[in-house]
């Protein structure tokens, strides 16, 4: 039972443009939503999170939006840089953490 879904396995964006990564979830009881970034041969690293009581959280070039009515989460990266090329996992927390299958972002110079 996949409670967190990332329906786009990959995304390519031109350097300087906006990258939008999407995530859908099914459980309305999740209290925290997180984005992790993973480079090859490394473990996932925390990027940004948002509490279920908020609808937006911003950290530099990264902004996470939460739409609870649609059970939808998105990560915006503006402007995108080649170093942002990685696999991005969204995750949701309720007692344990549930991860999506990841979206591979390629930022083209």
Partner 1 sequence: DSGVTQTPKHLITATGQRVTLRCSPRSGDLSVYWYQQSLDQGLQFLIQYYNGEERAKGNILERFSAQQFPDLHSELNLSSLELGDSALYFCASSALRTDTGELFFGEGSRLTVL
Binding site for partner 1 (CB under 8 A): 2, 4, 6, 9, 31-32, 34, 36, 41-46, 49, 51, 89, 91, 93, 95-102
Task: Report the alpha-carbon distance of residue 63 to residue 93 in Å, rounded.
Answer: 19
Nearer to partner 1 (CB atom), residue 18 or residue 39: 39
Task: Report the alpha-carbon distance of residue 58 to residue 93 in Å, rounded.
Answer: 19
Residues contacting residue 50 through CB under 8 Å, at least 6 positions apart = 32, 33, 34, 56, 57, 64, 66, 73
CB of 24 to partner 1, least distance (A): 13
Nearer to partner 1 (CB atom), residue 20 or residue 97: 97
Nearer to partner 1 (CB atom), residue 44 or residue 86: 44
CB of 15 to partner 1, least distance (A): 27
CB of 2 to partner 1, least distance (A): 8
Residues contacting residue 2 through CB under 8 Å, at least 6 positions apart = 100, 101
């Amino acid at each position: 039972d996949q409670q967190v879904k990332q329906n786009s396995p990959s995304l390519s964006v031109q350097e300087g443009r906006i990258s939008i990564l999407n995530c859908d979830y099914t459980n309305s009881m999740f209290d925290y939503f997180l984005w992790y970034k993973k480079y090859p041969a490394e473990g996932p690293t925390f990027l940004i999170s948002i509490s279920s009581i908020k609808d937006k959280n911003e950290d530099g070039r990264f902004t996470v939006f939460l739409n609870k009515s649609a059970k939808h989460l998105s990560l915006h990266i503006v402007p995108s840089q080649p170093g942002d090329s990685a696999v991005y996992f969204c995750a949701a927390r309720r007692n344990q953490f549930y991860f999506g299958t990841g979206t591979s972002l390629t930022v083209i110079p």
